[in-house]
Structures are given as structure tokens and as C-alpha cells.
Amino acid sequence: MDRNRPPLGQWLRRGVFLAPLLFLALFFIYPLLTIFGVSLVPEGQLDLSGFLRLVTTDYYLNTLLFTLGQAILSTALTLALALPSAYVFTRYSFRGKSLFLSLATLPFVLPTVVVAAAFSSLIGPRGLLNTFLMPTFGLAAPPIALDRTLTIILIVHVFYNYAVALRIIVGFWANQNPRIEQAARVLGASGWRLWWQIWLPILRPAITAAGILVFIFTFTSFGVVLLLGGPRFATLEVEIYRQTVNLFNLPVAAALSLVQIVLMFAFMLVYTRLQRRLTTDVTRVANVAKAPTTRREKAVVAVNLLLIAILLFAPLISLVAASVRSDQGITLQFYRQLSSNPRGSILFVPPVQAIGNSLLFAVVTTVLALALGLITAYLVSGRVTRWSRLLDPLFMLPLATSAVTLGFGYIISLDKPPLNLRSSALLIPIAHTLVAMPFVVRNLLPALRTIPPSYQEAARVLGASGWQVWRLIDLPLISRAMLVGATFAFTTSMGEFGASLFVARPDTPTIPIVIFRLLSQPGALNYGQALAMSSLLLIVSALGFVLIERLGAAGVGEF
């Protein structure tokens, strides 16, 4: 027996830690390289005409400038609204605080088709506000006309990303020592001087991290711009979709995708380094939140909760209300029609079957994302490898990659044995897992990084094996974060739209695909069914975040 050969247990351990890397290589890197090869190296010869068009055509430069501009505006508006709310959630204790914080994250996991339906039901031409204002003031046309404008794009981007910034800033701020402010007040700092000279410098890493993450999400915006912005506006992501689907101009689409991936990887690298600093710099302190007592404090809390209610909950409540409303009054006919599939319908199966499909795919996605995300969290936490700083942004990259490019990559690359999955329903949970894994990892990392190494060392000294150390030490300390990550994975899979649109088979649609198909067709019945399906998806997602609140884990995780 070769004594220099590693034991079997060590080989198995290495194999386990290679699993997420292999998954990422097969189902993310390989499809992207395939489509880049088909697009940029057709017939074995390098073709850079796509990049040449990018630098010689004003249209693509304007598209890049618009993508940057709307992302900067969206990020600034989101931070401006989230920072005062972070102060309220950090400083004050009030009934329903953790539930409010958990439900505030709900918009982030909703598909864009649901959000489009929600805002249409609230401020659209046939929305609740316009149908109320027109007869009330005798108006001939809807007074609120935001369709196909930059304003609605910015509003929805804030709607999506407000909670992302709020969670990051609250998570960091709540663990700062209150004596810093007390000492500053003793020295005469108050009001804006206290904010400018004390809190903003302290919170700068958290604000910067939140800003970078919101910028990434708005820079890669697809559904919001496509559905609500109309043909006048196009981000890089929307332009990739148009070049690929409408024009089948793969060289330009590949060039745009490559530019976007390089930019997003750079931003992800900065973000993950900032998050590592935030986790390292945090010192756990006692909860200093207090109940509001003065009129001013109560007013500050009330105004912020009202802002959240108007910004985040009003469109969602309007969506549910519109799903049970018809010209004849309150009705459940749209929900009843979900079990039928009349002749000539654009759907291959009854809409209710999509609910079963989505639930099945979500369960498989949750299992895969939790298993692979747990291993990935150990890899990027630095406990296993010194390459964690590079692996961290790499595993985040699927969030910033064009779903269109990835979908076409699957079609092109996964059509031959042993990976002949193009016609397999398994491709949907695989694509969903790529999107859900980063959420699991970001929820597990803070829990892993706060485990004192001395706990594990003491267990090993007492004779515990590696498995026993994990089961008896690590698992109890990270179990709550695992449950939160699993909930994020489940709700993310239920609402995933971009990738599903390209890999789902006609007979296995998911809820977002059915909503998209129904919204794309005229008729009150199709619109009502779309609202009903959107409401059901909303309720399932809301239950998931109520579960997070019941776990007492509101604010857990890095976003």
C-alpha cells in the first residue's frame, strides 16, 4: 500500500467539494463557451464583426449609456429611500417589525410578469387609481399615464431592490456600537453633522455594497424594461434578447453578452470583497432598538411604514383585488377558469397544471440549491481553499448573466450524449438552481464566518471525526440560515421567468410562463386568469417569507 496516497476519505471529501464546481462548469461555463464559439468562431474562423459593430454603431453605444444611466438613477433612488428606513428599523422596536422586514423582501423574488400585472392593475389605464379618478373628477382620459416611460422603469426598479439595500444596511447598522453616537453627541455632534461626520463614514461599506448590488440588478434588467418600457428603451439585456430572438444576430448578441459578463464579474468581485469586510468588521452587540415614545419618533416610524406600504404593498394588494373583480362585481370566475383549457387556447395544458409543475420544479431546485450551496459556502468562506476570493464572485455570476444567452447555450450545447437534456424537463430545475444557489450561499456565509474555529478544534481534540464535527458543531449553528436559504431557493424557483421561457417544454409550463402567455393575448378572460395566477404565486411567495419571519431570521444573510 502506497503511504503517500491520500486515504479514501480524503478523496471523497475532495470529490464533494468539486461537485458545485463541476455543476457550474457543465451548466453555466460550458453553455456560454459553446454559444460564444458558435457566434464568434463560425466554421472554425474567428469572426469579430459583432465587436466591430459595437464600437462603430451609435445605437449600441447609446444602449450602453442608457443601461448605465438608468442603473445609476435606480440605484440612487433606492439608496435614498432605503437609508431612512434602515434608521427606523435599526433604532426602533415596534409590533410586526420582523414581519414587515421579511415581507418587504417579497417583491425581490416575484417574476417581472407578476410585477407588470401588479402595476398595471394599480396605475395602468384600466388600473384601480385611474378607474377611480376618471369618474370622480369627470376626466375623459386616464390622468396617470406612465406606460412606456422611464419613470415607470425607475419606480419598478426601486420596488424590486428597495429591500435588498434595506437588508444589507440594517444588518450592518444593527451591529454597530451605540457608544459611538453617544460619544459624538457628548462632543456636540447632532442633526446633519452627526449623520455626515459619524454615521455615513461608518455605514459607507454597507451603503457601497448595497449600491453595487442594486446597480448589478438594474444594469442587467430584462423583464422590467421589456414589458414596461416598450420598444423605446433597451438595456444590454433587452438588446441581447432582440438580437438573439428577433434578428438571430448571434455575433452581436455574443459580443453584447461578453461585454456584460466582464463588467458584471468586475462588479461582483468588488461586491464580494466588500461583503467579506462587512462580515469581518461586524461586532455583535446587544439589541439597542427601543419603542418610539415621543410624537416625533412615532411620526418617523409611521411615515416610513406608510412609505413601505405604498411602495411595496399597494401594487400587490391591487393585484389581488383586481383578480376578483369584474364588470359584474366581485367574482371568482377567473380562479375557476384556471382548471380549464378551451379549444384554441394558447396554452397546451390547463393553467392549474402549471402550479403543479412549478411546485415540483421548486422542490427539486431547493434540494439541489441547498446541497450545492452549502458546499459552495464552505468553499468561498475560506475554510477549505485559498481561492475563495475568486470563487465567490464566480458563483454569483449566474445572477448577472443574460438568461437569453444561457437559454440558447443550453439548446446548442446540451443536445448530444451524455448531456442530451434539451428536451428534458430536468433542464428547468437545473437552470433554476443556477439562479437560486447564490441566495443560499449569501444566507449561509455569515453563519459560517461567525463560527469560532476554537469550537471545531476542541471537538477534534476530544476525538470527534470530521463528520461528527459538522453534525454536532456546524449544523446546529447554521441550521436556521439553511432553512432561510431553502425558502429563498423555493420562492426564487417558483418565480423564475427568464431562463424558464427558453428551456420549458410546451406541455410543462411554469406559473410565470403561463402568466406571460395570458398577458400577451387580448381579452378580459385571459387578463383575469393572468391576475389570478399572479395572485396565487404572490400568496405562495408571501407564505415563504412569513416562514422566514417565524424562524426569527429576518435580516439574516448578506442580501
How far apart, in whole angstroms, are the C-alpha atoms of residue 314 and residue 130?
14
Task: Evaluate whether residue 110 is within a structural domain.
Answer: yes
- Neighbouring residues of 78: CB distance < 8 A, sequence distance ≥ 6: 157, 158, 161, 162, 164, 165, 214
Task: Evaluate whether residue 126 is within a structural domain.
Answer: yes
Q: Kindly tell me the sign of the dihedral angle through the C-alpha atoms of 208, 213, 216, 220.
A: negative
- Provide mean pLDDT across the span 207-225: 88
**Residue 529 near residue 98, CB atoms below 8 Å:** no
Phi, psi of 329 (to 5 degrees): 115, -150
Using DSSP, state whether 227 is helix, strand or coil.
helix
Task: Evaluate whether residue 555 is within a structural domain.
Answer: no
Percent of the chain with pLDDT over 70: 86
Task: Evaluate whether residue 216 is within a structural domain.
Answer: yes
Grid cell for residue 380: 468561498
Instruction: State the CATH number of the domain containing residue 451.
Output: 1.10.3720.10
Residue of 279 and 108 predicted with greater confidence: 108
**Residue 354 near residue 537, CB atoms below 8 Å:** no
pLDDT band at 279 (very low <50, low <70, confident <90, very high): low
Four-CA torsion 495, 275, 70, 516, nearest 10 degrees? -10
- Neighbouring residues of 353: CB distance < 8 A, sequence distance ≥ 6: 509
Residue 199 in this model has a pLDDT that exceeds 80 = no
| pLDDT tens sequence across 394-414 | 888 887 776 777 777 787 788
Range of 337's domain?
19-323+330-550
Residue 190 in this model has a pLDDT that exceeds 50 = yes
What total number of domains does the chain contain? Answer: 1
DSSP label at residue 43: G
pLDDT band at 420 (very low <50, low <70, confident <90, very high): confident
What separation in angstroms does the CA of 282 have from each of 3, 43, 172, 177, 279? Answer: 45, 54, 7, 10, 6
- Neighbouring residues of 197: CB distance < 8 A, sequence distance ≥ 6: 184, 189
How far apart, in whole angstroms, are the C-alpha atoms of residue 437 and residue 435?
6
pLDDT band at 274 (very low <50, low <70, confident <90, very high): confident
Q: Which of 22-31, 45-54, 127-136, 419-428 has the highest mean pLDDT?
A: 22-31
Smallest Cα–Cα separation from 491: which of 89, 24, 103? 103
- Provide mean pLDDT across the span 270-283: 68
Q: Please, what's the b/e burial string for 20-44 (b: 16 or more CB within 10 A of its CB; e: otherwise)?
A: bbebbeebbeebbebbbebbbeeee
DSSP string, 465-518: -HHHHIIIIIHHHHHHHHHHHHHHHHHHHHH--TTHHHH--TTS--HHHHHHHH
Task: Evaluate whether residue 557 is within a structural domain.
Answer: no
What pLDDT was estimated at residue 555? 45
Strands (E), 242-343: 325-326, 329-330
Q: Which residues pair with 76 in a beta bridge?
A: none
Smallest Cα–Cα separation from 416: which of 37, 31, 19, 28? 31
Hunting for cell 373628477 — which residue is that?
A: 137
What pLDDT was estimated at residue 37? 82
Q: Which residues pair with 330 in a beta bridge?
A: 325
What pLDDT was estimated at residue 6? 46
What separation in angstroms does the CA of 445 have from each of 69, 270, 282, 425? Answer: 32, 17, 14, 31
Using DSSP, state whether 401 is helix, strand or coil.
coil
| pLDDT tens sequence across 83-137 | 988 888 888 888 878 777 777 777 877 777 788 778 888 888 878 888 888 888 8
- Provide mean pLDDT across the span 148-167: 90
pLDDT band at 217 (very low <50, low <70, confident <90, very high): confident
Q: Lowest-confidence range among 137-151, 389-403, 437-451, 466-480?
A: 389-403
Task: Evaluate whether residue 6 is within a structural domain.
Answer: no
- Provide mean pLDDT across the span 80-84: 91
- Neighbouring residues of 315: CB distance < 8 A, sequence distance ≥ 6: 115, 118, 119, 121, 122, 159
Task: Evaluate whether residue 12 is within a structural domain.
Answer: no
How open is the CA angle 337-338-342, to the nearest 5 degrees?
65
Task: Evaluate whether residue 4 is within a structural domain.
Answer: no
Residue of 174 and 233 predicted with greater confidence: 233
- Provide mean pLDDT across the span 301-325: 86
Burial class (CB in 10 A: 0-12, 13-18, 19+), 313: middle
Residue of 181 and 161 predicted with greater confidence: 161
Mean pLDDT of the chain: 81
What pLDDT was estimated at residue 79? 94
- Provide mean pLDDT across the span 330-337: 87
How open is the CA angle 458-463-467, to the nearest 5 degrees?
90
